[in-house]
């Protein structure tokens, strides 16, 4: 795997993971705190599992490839999940 491939695949996996997490959080954002935080913590563990799986699959690659993959994956997750959620639910006032 080359550097640009690692960056692309990391960004795609991060976007998919962050997008699914965002979708799950948007569905429960109006729910009770217990439900919301359960989904949030579950999403954290799922994303950590995806990260661990990616590192296991890339264990034979160079550290530069692994670093590029992980950094782009985490940044894409942040963009697709954290930024759109920060303003809370849209309410019809």
Tokens 């705190």 correspond to 33
Helices (DSSP H) in 1-93: which residue ranges? 3-28, 33-57, 63-77, 83-85
CB 65 within 8 A of CB 6: yes
Q: Domain coordinates of the chain in residue numbers?
A: 3-82
Q: In angstroms, rounded to a whole number, what is the distance separating the alpha carbons of residues 48 and 53?
A: 9
Q: In angstroms, rounded to a whole number, what is the distance separating the alpha carbons of residues 58 and 40?
A: 27
Q: What confidence tier does 87 reach under pLDDT thresholds 50, 70, 90?
A: low
* pLDDT tens sequence across 34-86: 888 898 899 889 888 988 998 888 888 888 888 999 999 988 888 877 665 55
């Amino acid at each position: 795997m080359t550097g640009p491939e690692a960056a692309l695949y990391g960004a795609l996996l991060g976007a998919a993971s962050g997008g699914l997490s965002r979708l799950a959080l948007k569905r429960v954002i109006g729910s009770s705190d217990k439900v919301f935080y359960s989904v949030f913590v579950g999403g954290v563990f799922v994303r950590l599992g995806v990260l661990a799986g990616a590192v296991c699959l890339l264990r034979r690659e160079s550290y530069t490839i692994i670093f590029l993959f992980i950094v782009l994956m985490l940044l894409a997750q942040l963009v697709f999940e954290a930024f759109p959620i920060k303003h809370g639910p849209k309410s019809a006032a």
